[in-house]
Structure 1
């Protein structure tokens, strides 16, 4: 068995689609299938159940996926520790982030980090808050960037900055000229809102209960791009963090005035796992950019 074969298996298991997995690995789909078949022969058990065009992990496949992630992470950690002994910084760093972070902030952090540590390969994935927490606990990410509150006690975090929660409408919407709106104004505009799995939505729901406001919610959308498209083309509004619409010229953001709400942005990681030198270095870049004291974590 070769380590790269485990890497191929992990990618196929994560995507549950051999063609897309092969494309992401820059190998052919038949080559990937051969490597998976070799693993199945070596373990004496099928790792995937193929039902028509659908693929799912078998029980044996799930066991191997969990173990393989740990093996790959430990080897990456060993590589970085050995490199640090030699005064070098090499290896792979996997981070996750809400899409809102990836629009502007993550590229800035990456630019600073990769300039200082060009031998570290950084893999960035986006997802909702639940996916990011699960990704850290499963060993898919070393660091992730989201908003409080956290669901798992196994996660540690560093506060980064507070972010405004704002109303978002199209630039030609009547509300777009307002300097601020009240929470009760939400009852006078149809809303398309982010998924209830997001901390922005959870904060909004608390907000609505606190002020006894009952808006007309016509859709819950878990994709940010689709959500913003609906706001652009319809006479609807949404509620997001200001950073989620950074750089857009055809949308207007309106704060909630006296009832203004904020979310705390954080960097989070698994408190049970050892942080790699690359992870520590990336976190220091983020803290410096956000003006956070290096030792401030929870």
Structure 2
């Protein structure tokens, strides 16, 4: 008997970034994973794993394939996130990148079921899709590379506070009864990030190609008595602020940076005396030593 047709890739629903947790018991809350979005499409032991843009990443996520091959004799299309978990139980993006290169253990956290045995489930309420997904996955040992993404209904602020206190990236809030909206960043899925916030020394600025504007600040941090480069921040600097900032940094411009800066940053870089301090929110410091998802919050004169 021929096997059922492998389901086609379906565009992902995306979450809208907001800065407040929604209220009410018509929302459920899941952990925001720090990994790669992935769609697993199955037909018996045939498995294809798609990236967020619809690329076939089955070879990249090869570690997961044997577990998916045993999941069902029918068909399924599962939305989830591929992550690597560090020793403290947190999803760690840097660890994930290393794991993919070395083909080390990774985990697929499944949070939505888009198709099952030929039935398109996207018009069903989310809570029904999650119930069917949990039944499909069944009991999972902690060591299993496929895990069900659990949720809590209501109590959003408490969930968020616990996630941030535990060092996690944030939460995803989803309306219980919402349909799955492929290809859409809709208000029925919201993401709220936990962010770190620190002050960094401004060592220069990045211009545009014409050298006429301020597009970002180059940042550094003092570590064990030495300045360490932390990348640059442009997000959060408004067009209204740029002319004033440009006038200020031009007054303290110097020919060379006060520390070693990556070669690719020197082309459009201009450098200043380290007299200014920038207030910056960010999610983490990468293995390369630069800020991930930095956002500018303010600036002051260094004391």
| Greater strand share, structure number | 2
TM-score computed with the length of structure 2 as normaliser: 0.26
TM-score computed with the length of structure 1 as normaliser: 0.26
| Greater helix share, structure number | 1
